Amino acid sequence: MFSPLIKELMESLRCLPGVGPKSAQKMALYLLERDSQGADRLANALRDALDKVGRCATCRTLTEDTECSICLDQARDGTRLCIVETPADVIAMENAGSFDGRYFVLLGHLSPIDGIGPEELGLDRLENLVRNTDVEEVIIATNSTIEGEATSHYISELLKPLNIELSRLAQGVPMGGELEYVDGNTLALALKGRKKL
């Protein structure tokens, strides 16, 4: 009952994560009925980002500049490098506020089934970066998932010969976590990694 262009707008809105047919319909009608200015701004922002955003030449995070603001920041500690899966993970680490080194962003994790191997994650570039700069410690902060663990394992094997300090984020009971609600795998890891008091 909608015209083709309105239908196409509804369908294309469904590429957004978490947007089903109902919300897509609501969004499309809202934009057309009440916020054509917002829709115009969004169309421009999408076009600009698609045309200009690429990857930081050093850490591979998303940016329209040659190098991202963290890589350009001379005040950051260049001896420590934290490896994360995505730009959102960089934000999470920055918000935690206890790391002032640099990052390397994989933009994914190893997933042979999807054709994502070491090359797609830029691991050759990572190796060169660690080899040719003053990095002394690499902290692997990939997700605590099967894929994140496999990626972590691969990277640690790759970097071991370079004679640097290698570490992985600690796993265990989250802060404020009540044992009753912590899943079994996490508890097992927390037990295995228990610390002497």
Which is nearer to a second copy, 31 or 123 (by Cβ)? 31
What is the contact mask toward a second copy in residues 25 to 64, using x (rule: CB under 8 A)? xxxxxxxxx-xx-xxxxxxxxxxxxx-xx--------xxx
* Options 58, 71, 83, 87; binder of a second copy; rule CB under 8 A: 87
| Residue 68 binds Zn ion, judged by CB under 5 A | yes
- Element of type H or E holding 165: strand 165-168
The entry of Zn ion, a second copy, none near residue 64 (CB within 5 to 8 angstroms by kind) is a second copy
What is the contact mask toward Zn ion in residues 175 to 194, using x (rule: CB under 5 A)? --------------------
* Options 10, 28, 56, 84; binder of Zn ion; rule CB under 5 A: 56
- Helix then strand then coil, in percent of the chain rounded to 5, is 50, 10, 40
Contact 106, 122 (CB under 8 A): yes
The entry of Zn ion, a second copy, none near residue 162 (CB within 5 to 8 angstroms by kind) is none
Other CB atoms within a 10 A radius of the CB of residue 96 amount to: 8
| Residue 167 binds a second copy, judged by CB under 8 A | no
| Residue 81 binds a second copy, judged by CB under 8 A | no
The span from the CA of 194 to the CA of 116, in Å, is 35
The span from the CA of 153 to the CA of 135, in Å, is 19
Q: Which of residues 2-31 bind a second copy (CB under 8 A)?
A: 2-6, 8-9, 11-13, 15-18, 23, 25-31
The upper half-sphere exposure of residue 173, i.e. CA atoms within 13 Å in the direction of its Cβ, equals 15
Nearest Cα residue to 39 out of 63, 73, 12, 62: 12
Residue 71 to residues 52, 63, 101, 145: CA-CA distances in angstroms? 19, 11, 10, 27
Interface positions with a second copy (CB under 8 A): 1-6, 8-9, 11-13, 15-18, 23, 25-33, 35-36, 38-50, 52-53, 62-65, 68-70, 86-88, 90-91, 94, 107-108
